[in-house]
Structures are given as C-alpha cells and as structure tokens.
Amino acid sequence: MRLPRILTPRVTASAHCDLPCGVYDPAQARIEAESVKMICEKYQANTDPEFRTRAVIIKEQRAELVKHHLWVLWTDYFKAPHFEKYPNLHQLFNEATKLAGSGGVKGSLDPATAEQLLQKIDEIAKIFWETKKA
C-alpha cells in the first residue's frame, strides 16, 4: 500500500548524530566525574561507617552515569570522519570508560584516580569542541 501523498515527507533532514547537534556535551560526563572525585575526598575525610557506605553507593551510581554519558558521545555523536581525523579517539574513550569502571573509580576511593578520569574527559571534550567548529 502506498502512503497518501499528504503523508509523504516534503523535506528530508540529515544530521551526523541522532538529533541535530546541540544535545550532546561532554560536560555531562565531567559533572558526574567531579561528583565522584568529591565523594572520594569526603570519604577519605570521614570515618563514620554509615556515611562511608552511603558515599560508596552514591559514587558507584555517579561512576555509572559517567560511563553512560561517555558511551553516548562515543556511539551517538562521534562518527567515522571524527575517528579518521582523531585516530586516538577510540583509545581515549576506551581509557576513559575503563577509568569510570571497576578498574578505575568504581574500584577505588582514591581522588587521584578520579582526577585521571577528569583529565581523560577533558581530552575528549577538547576534541568534541574542535569538531563543533568544523
């Protein structure tokens, strides 16, 4: 069955990402990673077992959000031309998501590990903003 002419699109839109740009921003991952670092610092400064338990739970949740936001950028925003222009981008995302996972902040309460994650996110953000200029 053919669509009635009235339902046929008159204009075709295209975008290099899921939606027209403006919805993706590495700042989302950075905000969550900053929370992880602050939680690690507060954990180190407090000996109350209940506080520490809550801190670990919240840190785990925030670390998972960091991974989510990084994966969305990696899989939905960045496309083949970006990876060709920035050949280290896949490796950078791999390292950042591992730092957000059990081998990084999810498995550690060391603020230095969280700082490493923030540095990786900043490297990704630098490339992200360069792609927005193009």
Q: Are 97 and 71 in contact (CB under 8 A)?
A: yes
Task: Tell me the two tokens of residue 124.
Answer: 């990704």
Q: What is the pTM of this model?
A: 0.84
Confidence band, pLDDT 50/70/90 cuts, at residue 133: confident
Backbone dihedral region for residue 22 (phi beyond 0: left; psi -120 to 50: alpha; all else: beta): left
Q: Each residue of 53-86: pLDDT tens digit? A: 999 999 999 999 999 999 999 999 999 999 999 9
What is the third-level CATH fold of 24-133? Four Helix Bundle (Hemerythrin (Met), subunit A) (1.20.120)
> At 131, which helix (H) or strand (E)?
helix 111-133
Ordered by start, the domain boundaries in the chain are: 24-133
In this predicted model, what pLDDT tens digit does every residue of 71-125 receive, in sequence order?
Answer: 999 999 999 999 999 999 999 999 999 999 999 999 999 999 999 999 999 999 9
CB 106, CB 60: distance < 8 Å: yes
Residue 69 to residue 118: CA distance in whole angstroms: 13
